[in-house]
């Protein structure tokens, strides 16, 4: 997580805390619907913090990939695409939208004879 992500996460947590405090005030002194609304609104920045964390993980994985070995003349984007294709399963997995595997694929689960 870089410093901008940390700054955004801090803002999100602060916003979530203020919305939670507003929800408490609405539950005590305001209408119930307003308390429920601020409770739901307070969860949204929490989701944003999780999203920032996921983006940080993806950036870290890309940085590791970019720092890794590449073929001569291969650009970073090419290395990323090559690694993504390499991480994918077999050809049948691609064409069956991830529902089936080639007979020789290591990820193929044995079919049950009970069906």
Query: Can you give the binding site for Zn ion, defined by CB under 5 A?
Result: 89-90, 93, 101, 105, 107
Report the residue number, 27 or 93, with the smaller CB distance to Zn ion: 93
Task: Return the closest-CA partner of residue 44 out of 20, 79, 74, 66.
Answer: 20
d(CA 72, CA 54): 31
Nearest distance from C-beta of residue 86 to Zn ion, angstroms: 13
Report the residue number, 13 or 89, with the smaller CB distance to Zn ion: 89
Report the residue number, 20 or 89, with the smaller CB distance to Zn ion: 89
Q: Is the dihedral of CA 65, 69, 74, 79 positive or negative?
A: negative
d(CA 99, CA 92): 9
Nearest distance from C-beta of residue 111 to Zn ion, angstroms: 14
Nearest distance from C-beta of residue 85 to Zn ion, angstroms: 13
d(CA 101, CA 95): 9
């Amino acid at each position: 997580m870089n410093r901008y992500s940390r700054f955004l996460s801090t803002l999100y947590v602060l916003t979530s805390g203020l919305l939670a405090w507003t929800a408490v005030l609405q539950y005590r002194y305001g209408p119930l619907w307003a308390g429920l609304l601020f409770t739901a609104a307070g969860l949204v920045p929490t989701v944003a913090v999780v999203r920032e964390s996921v983006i940080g993980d993806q950036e870290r994985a890309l940085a590791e990939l970019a720092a890794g070995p590449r073929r001569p003349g291969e650009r970073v984007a090419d290395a990323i695409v090559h690694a993504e294709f390499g991480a994918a399963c077999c050809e049948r997995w691609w064409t069956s939208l991830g529902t089936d595997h080639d007979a020789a694929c290591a990820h193929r689960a044995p079919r049950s004879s009970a069906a």
